[in-house]
Amino acid sequence: AAPASADPASAWRDKHKGAGCIWRGLRVRVGCFTGAPEVERDPVTKRMDFYGPAVNRAARVEAQADGGQFLICDSTYKHTVGK
């Protein structure tokens, strides 16, 4: 079995035991998919709006992640290997 220090969360808890931690940081999750989104400017906000199948697939990849994880799909991995 791996020692408790192999798990970053356990190591952090051991180090800060009894410290009364209030905030452990932002835990975002990210999903990455390789593809071209459809893009147009929002007439109200004047910001760019990204949508379409590539954005939907990235959202599905992201939905599988836990806080603090950055997941990529197989096609993104194959596209970036060796670069």
User: Tell me: the pLDDT tens digits for 1-53?
Assistant: 455 456 777 777 777 776 666 666 778 999 999 999 999 999 999 999 999 99
Confidence of residue 70 (pLDDT cuts 50, 70, 90): very high
First to last CA, the chain: 35
Is the pLDDT at 71 greater than 90, yes or no? yes
pLDDT of residue 43: 94
pLDDT of residue 14: 76
Going from the C-alpha of 57 to that of each of 5, 27, 60, 83, the distances in angstroms are: 35, 21, 5, 23
Confidence of residue 83 (pLDDT cuts 50, 70, 90): low
* Overall residue count recorded for the chain in this entry: 83
- Show Cβ contacts of residue 54 under 8 Å, excluding neighbours closer than 6 positions: 33, 34, 35, 36, 37
